[in-house]
Amino acid sequence: MMTALSTTRTTEAASKAVPAPTPRRTLSEGMVAAIFLAPAVIAVLVLRIWPTGLALWQSIHVGSAGTFGLANYTFLFSDPSFHDALSATLLFALIVNPFQIACALGLALVLHRALPAGALWRTLILLPVAVPQSVSAIIMGVVFRPDGPANALLATIGLPAQGFLTTPDQALYTIILIVSWIGVGYWMTFLLAGLKEIPFALYEAAVIDGATAWQQFRYITLPQLRRPLTFVLVADTVANFLVFAPVQILTKGGPQGSTNLIMNDIYTRGFLSGDVRGAAAETGILVGIVVIVVAIQFRMMTGGKSE
């Protein structure tokens, strides 16, 4: 403690000896920083740390006597409805993430070329990004009604009508299409920004060497795009773990639990069924998964300078 205090004093004294200081500068920079940081730190504590701590605290509370244990977690893992939610979420993540990123990358590559009216197409594809998830759920829910425009389109090109959200084996895939309406344009924007950073000289050199379009993509575009691609992969994965509005508005997790993604399960458990501790344990599991992914994301946003 003494040492810490005296160090602060010495730094202050040292900074007073530097030519720049003025009489107005009475607080050390650390103190000023503390004042500037205070509102944000309070926000972090109240809005992130407190609820996370509360969820973890509740999740280890067992029984009415207030004893502690992991019974809420073991109960959760023995609950078939949680198994279904977990497997639906994983299946969803396994399909939606590669699908969205492939579409986003493909479109970014197309729009990166000098097309006639290119800026117009880019803007039109980007615009749904601004559409709130609940709005997209409402509109796309009607589009995919059995008597809606999607089946009308299928009928026009001679294909049989589909059940979409009403059948257990199609509902999850329909939710994937619905969230991708917004998602693809959003993630495409990151990749388009990444493509702009690739030096054109690399392609010129490749053309001189006689590289084919595929070789250019494989040996120039992909490696140069590695950073934004990894970022998009991580951020997209986190976002898709948390899909809620389309499920809650359109299917409530059904039919037969086929679209019961983890956020909807937490909401149903904690808010509709009143199983606060079960929801807390499930929140703990979700936050655990997400924190790992987010830590990777943070490293990519800030680190990598050494590479």
Partner 1 sequence: MNRKQTVPLLVIAIGAAAAAMLPLIWAGISALRPSAEIFRYLSPLSIHTFVPTQVTFENVIALWNGPFARAMLNSAVVTAITVLLGLVICSMAAFALAALNYRGRGVVFAAMIVSFLIPFDSIAVPLAQVFRDLNLQNSYAGLILPGIGNGLAVFLLRQFFLGIPRELAEAAMVDGLGWFGIFTRIYLPLSKPALIGAGLILFVFQWQAYLWPLLIAPDPDYHVASVAIASFAGQYDVDYGQMFGGAVFTALLPMAVLLVFQRYFIASFATTGSKD
Subset of residues 85 to 144 that bind partner 1, contact rule: CB under 8 A: 106-107, 110-111, 113-116, 118, 120-121, 123-135, 137-143
Q: Does 291 bind partner 1 (CB under 8 A)?
A: yes
Q: Does 292 bind partner 1 (CB under 8 A)?
A: no
Which amino acid is located at 265 in the chain?
D
Name the residue with tokens 């920083």.
33
Q: Does 3 bind partner 1 (CB under 8 A)?
A: no
Q: How far apart, in Å, do the first and last CA atoms of the chain sit?
A: 39
Which amino acid is located at 52 in the chain?
T
Q: Does 62 bind partner 1 (CB under 8 A)?
A: no
Find out whether 129 and 182 touch, Cβ atoms under 8 Å: yes
Written as six digits, the tokens of 34 are 């503390």
CB of 257 vs partner 1, minimal distance in Å: 19
Binds partner 1 by CB under 8 A, chosen from 6, 51, 168, 205: 51
Q: Does 48 bind partner 1 (CB under 8 A)?
A: yes
Q: In angstroms, rounded to a whole number, what is the distance separating the alpha carbons of residues 36 and 171?
A: 49
Binds partner 1 by CB under 8 A, chosen from 6, 9, 33, 77: 33
Q: For partner 1, give the closer residue by CB, 41 or 169.
A: 41
CB of 37 vs partner 1, minimal distance in Å: 5
Q: Does 205 bind partner 1 (CB under 8 A)?
A: no
Binds partner 1 by CB under 8 A, chosen from 6, 9, 10, 50: 50
Q: Does 203 bind partner 1 (CB under 8 A)?
A: no
In this chain, which stretch among 49-57, 165-173, 199-207, 214-222 interacts with partner 1, using CB under 8 A?
49-57
CB of 65 vs partner 1, minimal distance in Å: 21
Q: Does 273 bind partner 1 (CB under 8 A)?
A: no
CB of 78 vs partner 1, minimal distance in Å: 21
Name the residue with tokens 């501790």.
277
CB of 290 vs partner 1, minimal distance in Å: 5
Neighbours of 205 (CB within 10 A): 12
Q: Does 199 bind partner 1 (CB under 8 A)?
A: no
Q: Does 176 bind partner 1 (CB under 8 A)?
A: no
